[in-house]
């Protein structure tokens, strides 16, 4: 028998089904570190997917608990788009992927794991990131610890936001 070690999965197994609270609403109300939040804007939150398809898999959700795109206000749409753009810039700078899958699954039949709260997946892609492991063993290998990904993206986003703010408002000094 071959054994594949995935010790981080134990937390998921222990907590599976225990909480009926929406992970996005919990992230909006809770601490960044406890909820893997890498960025907060006026109307949205961006967080790491703790069961990622690839390294730096980010999810962006409106702060309001809504299930569908047409329920977003114009301000929320613009805010989410700006957050999406910032996440792609940060991932680009830190990881240099060769492409992205960006998508929204609306409804369970379309693949939404959390269909009550609209969210966008940003999955960076590299040539060769699908290798023999998923094909032969049904296993995806994530080559970087989630804590390291969190740290890298938060630091990069902070730098990008600071530089954007200074270029828009040169007189403003950020601390």
What is the set of active-site residues?
Answer: 119
Which CA distances in Å does 164 have to 56, 115, 138, 168, 174? 22, 33, 42, 6, 11
Tallying the residues shown for the chain, one arrives at 175
């Amino acid at each position: 028998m071959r054994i594949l070690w995935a010790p981080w999965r134990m937390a998921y197994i222990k907590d599976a089904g225990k909480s009926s609270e929406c992970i996005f609403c919990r992230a909006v109300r809770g601490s960044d570190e406890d909820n893997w939040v890498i960025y907060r804007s006026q109307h949205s939150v961006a967080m790491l997917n703790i069961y990622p398809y690839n390294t730096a898999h980010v999810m962006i959700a409106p702060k309001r608990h809504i299930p569908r795109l047409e329920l977003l206000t114009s301000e929320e749409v613009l805010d989410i788009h700006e957050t999406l753009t910032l996440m792609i810039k940060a991932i680009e700078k830190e990881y240099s992927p060769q492409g992205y899958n960006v998508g929204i699954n609306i409804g369970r039949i379309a693949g939404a794991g959390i269909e009550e709260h609209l969210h966008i997946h940003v999955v960076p892609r590299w040539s060769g990131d699908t290798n023999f492991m998923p094909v032969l063993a049904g296993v995806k290998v994530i080559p970087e610890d989630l804590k390291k990904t969190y740290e890298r993206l938060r630091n990069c986003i902070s730098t990008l936001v600071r530089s954007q703010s200074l270029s828009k408002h040169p007189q403003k000094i950020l601390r």
